[in-house]
Amino acid sequence: MAPGTDERLMARAVRLAARGLYTADPNPRVGCVIARGEEVVGEGWHAVAGGDHAEAVALRAAGNRARGASVYLSLEPCCHHGRTPPCTDALIAAGVARVVCAQRDPDPRVAGRGFRQLEEAGIRVERLDRMAADARALNIGFIKRMTTGRPWVRVKLATSLDGRTALANGESQWITADAARTDVHRWRARASCILTGSGTVLADDPGLDVRLTLADLGLEGGPTPKPWVAIVDSGLRTPATARVFGRHDCVRIFTASTDTPATNALAAAGSEVIPLRQTGKGQVDLQDLLWELGRLRANEVHVEAGATLCGALLAAGLVDELIWYVAPSILGSDARGAFALPPLHAMTDRVRVHIQEVRHVGPDLRIRAYPIVDRDHERQ
């Protein structure tokens, strides 16, 4: 086999996994390539939860040529019965000789057991760790949920150059240009749910839907992705006439209120009202919120909210990633800021971030950054 063949075929498996970016949720995005030497004889990806796994699709395409072949997987094969049978059983039955994986599956039902089952059946198992980062990036939310019980929280912001989200009177349309607003729909499309606050619903009445089809997203034709909506509404202020109810099949409202008439009205509008633990100030406990989102199998949570909720998430160390669009304009000191945070008394109290990427999206900049979290605080 030529040098670099493993890397080339694993890169192909990762690209195949990316085809499930908008449809596989809440399952992981997985790609599979089956090859005899350098010749690909079958390939597949996990397209939709409940459908065939990547291994099953690739084995079907390879047929008898899978016997004695090498299998390249972006994630360890499952070894448990769910809506589909174990992929380890299928690989063993097909008589493959070698399985190369980019990463271990963090699902406690798998977590190395898939590798062991293959090895016990006489199949050689290899880890291609140098490809793990690319495979991990596709499943960052699934990995976090499986290892911590909580989803990956991605906060989207759109501000002026001086960090302002709206004028003092609340006018914010449009700070960024068309290209950035279209890009936002790509991030919405890959999320499990879109999280906002009741203040944003009252002020802007957003639809929070995805306005791109799979074809728009560069994939084979199919329906528009439909993440569900989560609203943090401590006092049940969300009106039953809000646009989100007409645009989403599933809207869940997380509250600290026990107001039965308001609960009944929102339920009649099509929402599920979920009471959570409250803080001493009568607000929804955000730690409890994330545990509940994890229980509901949300992998990636896309936050589009005002300064209050965004600031509270950031101050609590619950933001994993920032997607920040910066427009080439200045709104001035009277305009509204991006985060409502407690006053800082020393520079050591500032929130620091690691900037991963800066790129132009039309005339605007898009910054991807990761807050640097105090791990001791995170464990409390």
The residues annotated as belonging to the active site are 55
Q: How far apart are CA 205 and CA 377, in angstroms?
A: 35
| Phi-psi label, residue 23: left if phi above 0, alpha if psi -120 to 50, beta otherwise | alpha
Give me the residues paired with residue 41 across strands. Answer: none
Q: Which two tokens stand for residue 222?
A: 């199919």
Structural contact between residues 327 and 139, judged by C-beta atoms closer than 8 angstroms: no
Say how many CA atoms lie within 13 Å of 182 toward its Cβ: 10
Q: In angstroms, what CA-CA distances link 108 with 77, 79, 147, 255, 347?
A: 13, 11, 8, 31, 41
Q: How far apart are CA 1 and CA 21, in angstroms?
A: 31
Q: In angstroms, what CA-CA distances link 306 with 66, 361, 376?
A: 53, 22, 28
Angle between helix 113-120 and 87-94 (nearest 10)? 20
Q: How far apart are CA 146 and CA 138, in angstroms?
A: 14
The dihedral sign for the CA sequence 267, 272, 278, 284: negative
- Quickly count helices (H) and strands (E) in the chain: 13, 16
E strands within 52-166?
70-73, 98-101, 124-127, 152-159, 164-166
3-state SS, residue 62: helix
Q: Which residue type is seen at 124? A: R
Structural contact between residues 193 and 171, judged by C-beta atoms closer than 8 angstroms: no
- Residue 251 has a CB neighbour count (10 Å cut-off) of 24
The 8 Å CB, 24+ separation contacts for 353-361 are 353/322, 361/179, 361/180, 361/183, 361/325
